[in-house]
């Protein structure tokens, strides 16, 4: 299978596919080839992902380069209509796509998980199609009229993660296509099959070559980031890999949007109601079993209500069912891969050795499967403890006591990460005052981690740069151009 096969035009068989097995058949490597992908919840083999080479990537980029001018010339209205039809295609196959995602990524079907993620894909496509980016008149003084406009950058390389593989792919692909670019997608090697299936669905509405996916190891992603014919790179993943992409981009001067690691702090002010905020704190920390860049990863609680918050959060945690991905009662699932499981297990064990108080969880849930780790709340930790300072990216939350708000703000700002943060309070003005002091791309008040297709999202410091979503997201995948016209009645100056 070549790279462009995953972006092939629709066929009668493809459009009639009605189960996750049908979707798998579209994108799997031929029998006996490819790399085995196992289901995190069960360890069973799900399928075999094609392993593309750097030569396959070169072919995909060349096809994108050839197809992009005609796609750009089709105009904003036509491209928006294509995005709307893509959304309809996803909705028509939402259930099999969600089941494939659940089996490959591990997240359950229900709750803010697989069905939610697939629904977000079509919602984001529709929102992107409806977003307008009008020319901006920057000067019109009678002598000069200057307009700022935006043109396609050309070919966009989109490198995605394994935690929200479909949704983040759409976050990258939708605005890039909307602005007239061609896109080459490199999915994570942990979750390639669901992304390849998504790309095959989208390609039922696209001209050949405009969108393709290349499934391979890290060297393929590195080649995409440094490719001389790639004009823009969008990457969601670790800060370490983001730094390597920045270095690679020096050779081709590719524009970058980097959404990197986070270690989001939450600060509970002394006037908060522990019972009222417990659900929001829980889902802020444990959506997708904690495997979310902008999840709440360290919680600072004022002395006066520390134990009340710990108890209220523990009550919520104990009521949340964890189990197999296709079990309709589950809302929490396994860690996606052994490497991430080991990170969580190491940090929890270290926290116990340092005197952390285990409130819930604390040991692998081996009765559920190899990669299951229960929701683990650990109280009485402090800044400097590894579970506080390192991004755990899993279902373990350190809870830290503070007495002075200045100390809590300093703690929130002390780390390299700056993706998101949250402030919890019954007083909106007090919460706003604290939020303005936190060094993060987004600060939520009385919630954590929610995103909206019209609200710009991006990080600061070690969490990357560039914005996604809404008008700013369209600008990020476009090249600004100023058209400046002098009045013909004004004589030019020497």
How many Å apart are CA 198 and CA 243, to the nearest integer? Answer: 28
Of 39, 104, 117, 259, the catalytic one is 259
pTM (predicted TM-score):
0.94
Is 259 an active-site residue?
A: yes
List, as one string, the DSSP characters of 258-271.
Answer: EE----EEEEE-TT
Is 121 an active-site residue?
A: no
SS3 186: strand
In terms of Cβ atoms closer than 10 Å to its own Cβ (0-12, 13-18, 19+), residue 74 is middle
Output the CA torsion sign for 83, 84, 87, 88: negative
Q: Looking at the structure, give the CATH architecture of the domain made up of residues 264-445.
A: 3-Layer(aba) Sandwich (3.40)
Q: Which residues pair with 150 in a beta bridge?
A: 480
- The angle at the Cα of 193, spanning 188 to 195, to the nearest 5 degrees, equals 65
Per-residue pLDDT of the chain (494 residues; tens, 9 = 90+): 333 333 333 332 334 457 889 999 999 999 889 999 999 999 999 999 999 999 999 999 999 999 999 999 999 999 999 999 999 999 999 999 999 999 999 999 999 999 999 999 999 999 999 999 999 999 999 999 999 999 999 999 999 999 999 999 999 999 999 999 999 999 999 999 999 999 999 999 999 999 999 999 888 999 999 999 999 999 999 999 999 999 988 988 999 999 999 999 999 999 999 999 999 999 999 999 999 999 999 999 999 999 999 999 999 999 999 999 999 999 999 999 999 999 999 999 999 999 999 999 999 999 999 999 999 999 999 999 999 999 999 999 999 999 999 999 999 999 999 999 999 999 999 999 999 999 999 999 999 999 999 999 999 999 999 999 999 999 999 999 999 999 886 555 55
Sheet holding 255-259, edge to edge: 211-213, 182-186, 155-159, 232-236, 255-259, 464-465
Percent helix / strand / coil, the chain, rounded to 5: 45, 20, 35
Q: Which residue's structure tokens are 């028509």?
A: 92
Fold annotation for 3-260+459-481: Aldehyde Dehydrogenase; Chain A, domain 1 (3.40.605)
Q: Which residue's structure tokens are 């950058």?
A: 153
Of 293, 308, 349, 436, the catalytic one is 293
Question: Domain limits of the chain?
Answer: 3-260+459-481, 264-445
């Amino acid at each position: 299978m070549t790279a462009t096969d995953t972006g092939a035009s629709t066929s009668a068989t493809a459009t009639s596919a009605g189960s996750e097995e049908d979707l798998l058949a579209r994108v799997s490597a031929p029998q006996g080839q490819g790399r085995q992908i196992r289901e995190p919840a069960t360890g069973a083999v799900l399928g075999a992902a094609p392993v593309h080479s750097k030569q396959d990537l070169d072919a995909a980029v060349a096809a994108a380069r050839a197809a992009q001018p005609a796609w750009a010339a089709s105009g904003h209205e036509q491209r928006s209509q294509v995005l709307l039809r893509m959304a309809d295609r996803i909705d028509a196959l939402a259930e099999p796509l969600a089941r494939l995602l659940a089996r490959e990524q591990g997240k359950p079907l229900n709750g803010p998980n697989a069905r939610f993620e697939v629904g977000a894909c079509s919602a984001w496509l529709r929102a992107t199609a409806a977003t307008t980016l009008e020319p901006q008149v920057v000067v019109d003084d009678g002598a000069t009229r200057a307009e700022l406009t935006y043109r396609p950058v050309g070919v966009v390389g989109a490198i995605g993660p394994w935690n929200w593989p479909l949704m983040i792919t759409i976050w990258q692909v939708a605005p890039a296509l909307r602005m007239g670019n061609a896109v080459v997608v490199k999915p994570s090697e942990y979750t390639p099959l669901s992304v390849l299936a998504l790309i095959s669905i989208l390609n039922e509405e696209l001209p050949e070559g405009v969108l393709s996916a290349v499934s391979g190891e890290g060297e393929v992603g590195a080649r995409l980031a440094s490719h001389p014919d790639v004009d823009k790179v969008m990457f969601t993943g670790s800060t370490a890999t983001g730094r390597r992409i920045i270095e690679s981009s020096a050779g081709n001067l590719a524009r970058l949007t980097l959404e990197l690691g986070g270690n989001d702090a939450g600060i509970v002010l002394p006037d908060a109601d522990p019972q009222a905020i417990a659900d929001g704190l829980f889902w802020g920390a444990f959506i997708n079993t904690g495997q979310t860049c902008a999840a709440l990863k360290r919680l600072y609680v004022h002395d006066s209500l520390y134990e009340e918050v710990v108890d209220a959060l523990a009550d919520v945690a104990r009521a949340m069912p964890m189990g197999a991905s296709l079990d309709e009662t589950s809302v929490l699932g396994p860690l996606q891969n052994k490497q991430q499981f080991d990170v969580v297990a190491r940090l929890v064990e270290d926290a116990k050795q340092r005197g952390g108080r285990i409130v819930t969880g604390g040991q692998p849930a081996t009765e559920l499967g190899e990669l299951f780790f229960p929701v683990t709340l650990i109280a009485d930790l402090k800044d400097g403890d590894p579970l506080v300072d390192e991004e755990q990216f899993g279902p373990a939350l350190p809870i830290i006591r503070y007495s002075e708000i200045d100390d809590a703000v300093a703690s929130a700002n002390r780390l390299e990460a700056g993706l998101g943060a949250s402030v919890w309070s019954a007083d909106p003005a007090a919460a706003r005052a604290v939020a303005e002091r936190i060094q993060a791309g987004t600060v939520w008040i009385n919630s954590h981690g929610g995103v909206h297709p019209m609200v710009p999202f991006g990080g600061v410091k070690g969490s990357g740069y560039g914005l996604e979503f809404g008008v700013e997201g369209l600008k990020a995948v476009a090249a600004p151009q100023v058209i400046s016209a002098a009045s013909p009645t004004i004589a030019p100056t020497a």
